[in-house]
Chains A and B, each alone.
Chain A
Amino acid sequence: MSNLTREETEALIAEVLEVYPEKAKKDRAKHLAVNDQSVEQSKKCITSNRKSLPGVMTIRGCAYAGSKGVVWGPIKDMIHISHGPVGCGQYSRAGRRNYYVGTTGVNTFGTMNFTSDFQEKDIVFGGDKKLGKLIEEIEGLFPLNKGISVQSECPIGLIGDDIEAVSKKAAAAFNKPVVPVRCEGFRGVSQSLGHHIANDAIRDWVFEREGKDAQAFEPSPYDVTIIGDYNIGGDAWSSRILLEEMGLRVIAQWSGDGTLAEMENTPKAKLNLLHCYRSMNYISRHMEEKYGIPWIEYNFFGPTKINESLRKIAAFFDDSIKAKCEEVIAKYQSMVDAVVAKYKPRLTGKRVMLYVGGLRPRHVIGSYEDLGMEVVGTGYEFGHGDDYDRTIKEMGNSTLLYDDVTGFEFEEFVKKVKPDLVGSGIKEKYIFQKMGIPFRQMHSWDYSGPYHGYDGFAIFARDMDMTLNNPCWHKLTPPWMKPAEEAEPVAKAA
C-alpha cells in the first residue's frame, strides 16, 4: 500500500475515533496527530503526559516500573528491595534483560528479586519493622552488596510507612547507603514520574551522601559517562567500545551494568552523554547546574546517526579525539557497507510502525532509514512535550503520531495503514502476529541485541530481515481455506 496523504491520515484518525463516546473522543483526539515538520512546537498538534482514560486499554506502566524497573534495577551491586506485596517485583523480575558482569547472588544482584512480601497484618500494623528486619537479613546473607534501595509499591504510600526513618537507621547501622525511593505505583500518570522520582533519589541520597568520596579517583581530561543506557542485550557495551576506541574514558554507565561507585564518580566527569533523554535528563540537568558538567544527547542506532553522534561528541574534545573519531568511523565503514549491501535489497521500501517508550520511537528511525525502510507511524507510551518536539523533525510529513495509544486504536491503525513490520512490546506482539503482521518486540529487542553501535546495527539488520522475510508469513492461510487452484499442487504432492 502506498503512503497516505495528509487528508487520508486525518480521515483515518477520525474513523478510528468514531467508536468512542463523545467525551472520550474529544480527549483521545488530542493525542493523535498527523506529523507536520513545519510545526515548531509539538504541543500545537499533540497532547502528551496526561492521565489515561478509564476503560481504554493503555500500554503504560507505573511509577514503580519507572524507578525499580528502569533506573535503579540495573545497578548491579546494590540490592533493590521491592517493598510491598510480592507480585510487583516477582512478575517484573529480570524481564528487561539488563545484562551485567558479575556473580549473581554474591557481588551482583541484577536478576534476583528481593521483596518484603506484604501480608494483611503488615498493611494493618505497618511494615517498617519488617523492612528493618529484611535489611538486616540481607546484610547477613549478601554481605558483598554495596548498598540497598527501598522501592516502594503502592501500599507503602497508602498506609503511610516511614521508610526514610528505617533507611536512615539502617544506613547508619551498616555504614552503607540505604536509599528510600518513594515510587509508589499510583504516583503520576505513567512510569515517567517514576524516572523523575528515581533521579531525585539519586540526587538526594547518592550524590549528597557523606563519605561517598572515600574511593580514589584519578581524573583524566577525557572522562565521559554513558547516561540512560540500560544495557539491554548488551547495548551499553557496544556503545562503550566505540567511545573507548575514540580515546575517551567511560567512567560510569547509568545504569546498565552500572555500579554504585560509578554513580558516585559521575560528578567528576567532563561530559555526560545522554542516550535516553526521557528517563535521565533530570539528573543530567542537575549535574550541569551543580557540578558544571555539560550534557549532550546522542543516538547510537544506525550508522548515519552514529557517525553524526560520534562527531558531535568529539567536538567537545581536542584534535586528537577528533582525529581518532574519524579513524573509528573509517574503521567500521566497510563493515557497515557490507551489512547495508546484504540487507538493504531485502528490506528496502518496507514500512514500519513503532509504539514504544523512552527514546526508541525517535532514535531507531535512523536505523530503519539506513536499511531503506520507512517509519510511517510512531508514538510514545509516556513521552512528554519535549520528546515530541524532537520527534517531529525525525518523522516524515503526514505520518501518524500517537501518544499513549490504546489497544483498539493501535490495532485499527495497523489494519488501515498495513505496515510491513510493527515494533512494540510483548503485550502487542501476539495480537499482531496472529493478524499476520511481522512483529519485533522493541522493548528488550525480542530477546536479541545489542542494537546500539555499529556491531548492534549488524544484529538489528539481521533481526529485521529474519522477521520480515520469514517464510511463515505466507503460511497463515491453511491449505483448506486457500482457493482451489492454489491448493491443488499441495494435494498432488500429498
Chain B
Amino acid sequence: MANIMIRRGDKGEYVFYLPKRDLEDTIVSMEFDTPEKWGGEIKLNNGGAYLIEPQPAPERLPYSVRAKRLDAAE
C-alpha cells in the first residue's frame, strides 16, 4: 500500500503522484469515475497500474488516498 495524491492536470485529466518515489504521471483510465463510485483500478501512462478502494468521489482535488500497487512499470 502506498500513499498517493491525485490531482487535476492542465487539460483536466487526472494526474497521479507517488511522493515516496517522486513519480508523477497521467492516469489514462480509471475503472469507476462517477460521483457515487470512484476509484478502482487505475492505469498510468507509464504502464503501471494501481488499485484504489472504490469510494464516493472526493469533493475536491487534489486528494490523498491509499492505493495498492498492482503492476509497477519498472
Q: Which residue of B lies closest to A282 (CB)?
A: B19
| Interface residue range, chain B | 10 to 19
Chain B min CB distance to A38 (Å): 15
B17 lies within 8 A of A285 (CB):
yes
Check B36 for interface membership: any CB of A closer than 8 A.
no
| Interface residue range, chain A | 10 to 19
A49 lies within 8 A of B22 (CB):
yes
7 residue pairs, one from A and one from B, having the closest CB atoms: A384-B22, A289-B62, A386-B24, A288-B62, A386-B22, A41-B46, A385-B22
Measured CB to CB, the residues of A under 8 A from B are 40-41, 43, 49, 282, 285, 288-289, 292, 384-386, 389
Task: Please tell me which one of the listed residues A43, A285, A292 contacts residue B74 in the complex, with CB atoms under 8 A apart.
Answer: A43
B63 lies within 8 A of A289 (CB):
yes
Q: Which residues of A contact B46 (CB under 8 A)?
A: 41, 43
Task: Please tell me which one of the listed residues B5, B24, B60, B64 contacts residue A292 in the complex, with CB atoms under 8 A apart.
Answer: B60
Q: Which residue of A lies closest to B22 (CB)?
A: A384
Please report the C-alpha to C-alpha distance between residue A40 and residue B22 in the assembled complex, in whole angstroms. 16
For this complex, 29 residue pairs linking A to B, each with C-beta atoms less than 8 Å apart, are A40-B45, A41-B25, A41-B45, A41-B46, A43-B46, A43-B74, A49-B22, A282-B19, A285-B5, A285-B7, A285-B17, A285-B19, A285-B62, A288-B7, A288-B62, A289-B5, A289-B7, A289-B62, A289-B63, A289-B64, A292-B60, A384-B22, A385-B21, A385-B22, A385-B23, A386-B22, A386-B23, A386-B24, A389-B24
Please report the C-alpha to C-alpha distance between residue A382 and residue B74 in the assembled complex, in whole angstroms. 21
Q: Which residues of A contact B19 (CB under 8 A)?
A: 282, 285
The A-contacting residues of B in range 37-74, CB under 8 angstroms, are: 45-46, 60, 62-64, 74
Q: Which residues of A contact B22 (CB under 8 A)?
A: 49, 384-386
Q: Which residue of B lies closest to A387 (CB)?
A: B22
Interface string of B6-32 (1 = CB under 8 A from A): 010000000001010111110000000
Please report the C-alpha to C-alpha distance between residue A49 and residue B7 in the assembled complex, in whole angstroms. 24
Chain B min CB distance to A394 (Å): 17
Q: Which residue of A lies closest to B46 (CB)?
A: A41
Please report the C-alpha to C-alpha distance between residue A282 and residue B62 in the assembled complex, in whole angstroms. 13
Q: Which residues of B contact A386 (CB under 8 A)?
A: 22-24
Q: Which residues of A contact B45 (CB under 8 A)?
A: 40-41
Please report the C-alpha to C-alpha distance between residue A289 and residue B5 in the assembled complex, in whole angstroms. 9
